[in-house]
């Protein structure tokens, strides 16, 4: 292919600079593609892509449903749920995250509160849990120093401690979900101290042991194809960029048929 042809093939047009929450699904149902240049309202780390949150909320809930995130961060999931006519609520162990969430969604500030997910016991069980469990900071140790909370999973001292602490978080999700309610989480594999951890599978297995059942699995791309590889600075060899996330969609079964949601 000519240089001119390559430039045409690697067009920027399908990855616009602007982001807007729309009440429609823009992604195909088999492979989810999202804009790597989404504009976020703050610099809080490890945020869920806004359009992924939108699509999952539209796929698996309806207006008036309660959508919960116990790893709330700066509030992406509840904020978008509220904009889409759901009741979005969120908790986080980090008070800085809750303050940001309330500032971004002031008319719903009372729907965000500080709590350790392991201790959450909601008055009313929820319809959908959409969450991004901590895994991307460094697994053990918060190198960005965004949380001083001892109970923050990102401040675990080892992968063993991290995994021990996160299991009761999934148990809390199970306890706070309605029968036939949906749990959706995204995750990817990680390497720590030369050891490989397939966290999405580890998290899924924890959920199965607790009592969840698998409904579906997606994966989504965070990068345009032109960024799938890069040249290593030291050895000049081509290396892969991490450009996808695994998404597990599970449910809390009670032998009833799952509801068929319409994207509204």
Three-class SS of residue 170?
A: helix
* Domain membership flag for residue 84: yes
What is the pLDDT tens value at each position of the chain, 264 positions in all?
Answer: 344 433 333 334 443 444 455 555 555 555 677 766 667 788 888 788 888 899 899 989 999 999 999 999 999 999 999 999 999 999 999 999 999 999 999 999 999 999 999 999 999 999 999 999 987 445 444 455 567 777 787 777 788 888 999 999 999 999 999 999 999 999 988 777 778 888 999 999 999 999 999 999 988 877 655 555 667 677 777 766 666 789 999 999 875 556 665 544
The pLDDT, as a whole number, for residue 98 is 96
What are the φ/ψ torsions at residue 25 (nearest 5 degrees)?
-95, 125
CA-to-CA distance for 90 and 111, rounded, in angstroms? 6
The pLDDT, as a whole number, for residue 18 is 44
Residue 6 Cα to chain centre, angstroms: 34
Three-class SS of residue 49?
A: coil
In a 13 Å sphere around the CA of 165, the CA atoms on its Cβ side amount to 20
* Domain membership flag for residue 134: yes
Cβ-contact 231, 208 below 8 angstroms: no
- Nearest CA to 258 out of 173, 179, 180 is that of 180
* Domain membership flag for residue 20: no
pTM score over 0.85 = no
Cβ-contact 147, 137 below 8 angstroms: no
The pLDDT, as a whole number, for residue 22 is 54
The total of other beta-carbon atoms located within 10 Å of residue 171's CB is: 17
Cβ-contact 191, 197 below 8 angstroms: yes
Which parts of the chain are beta strand (E)? 32-33, 66-69, 87-92, 112-114, 126-131, 177-187, 189-192, 195-198, 213-221, 229-231, 238-240, 244-251
* Domain membership flag for residue 75: yes
Indicate which CATH number applies to the domain containing 69.
3.40.50.150
Site of tokens 């909320």 = 57
- Nearest CA to 132 out of 172, 187, 180, 88 is that of 187
Residues contacting 103, CB < 8 A, separation 6+: none
* Domain membership flag for residue 28: no
Cβ-contact 244, 222 below 8 angstroms: yes
* Domain membership flag for residue 31: no
The pLDDT, as a whole number, for residue 19 is 44
Domain range enclosing 97: 42-251
| Total number of domains in the chain | 1
* Domain membership flag for residue 143: yes
The pLDDT, as a whole number, for residue 201 is 94
The pLDDT, as a whole number, for residue 239 is 65
- Nearest CA to 200 out of 141, 154, 132 is that of 132
* Domain membership flag for residue 10: no
CA-to-CA distance for 10 and 106, rounded, in angstroms? 40
What does the chain come to in residues? 264
The pLDDT, as a whole number, for residue 227 is 55
């Amino acid at each position: 292919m000519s240089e001119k042809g390559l430039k045409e093939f690697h067009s920027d047009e399908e990855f616009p600079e602007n982001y807007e929450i729309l009440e429609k699904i823009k992604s195909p149902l088999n492979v989810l593609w999202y804009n790597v240049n989404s504009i976020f309202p703050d610099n809080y780390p490890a945020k869920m892509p806004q359009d992924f949150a939108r699509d999952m909320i539209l796929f698996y809930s309806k207006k008036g449903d309660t959508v919960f995130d116990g790893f709330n961060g700066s509030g992406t999931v509840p904020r978008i749920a509220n904009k889409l006519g759901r009741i979005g609520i969120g908790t986080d162990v980090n008070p800085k995250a809750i303050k940001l969430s309330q500032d971004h969604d002031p008319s719903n500030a009372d729907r965000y509160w500080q709590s350790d997910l392991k201790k959450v016991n909601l008055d009313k069980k929820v319809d959908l849990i959409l969450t991004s469990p901590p895994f991307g900071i460094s697994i053990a140790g918060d190198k960005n120093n965004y949380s001083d909370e001892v109970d923050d999973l990102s401040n675990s001292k080892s992968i063993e401690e991290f995994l021990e602490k996160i299991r009761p978080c999934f148990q809390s999700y199970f306890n706070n979900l309605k029968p036939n309610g949906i749990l959706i989480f995204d995750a990817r594999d990680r390497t720590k101290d030369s050891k490989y951890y397939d966290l999405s599978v580890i998290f899924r297995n924890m959920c199965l042991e607790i009592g969840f059942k698998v409904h579906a699995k997606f994966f989504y791309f965070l990068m345009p194809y032109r960024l799938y590889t890069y040249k290593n600075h030291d050895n000049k060899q081509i290396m892969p960029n991490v450009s996808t996330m695994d998404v597990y969609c599970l449910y809390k079964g009670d032998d009833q048929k799952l509801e068929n949601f319409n994207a509204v």
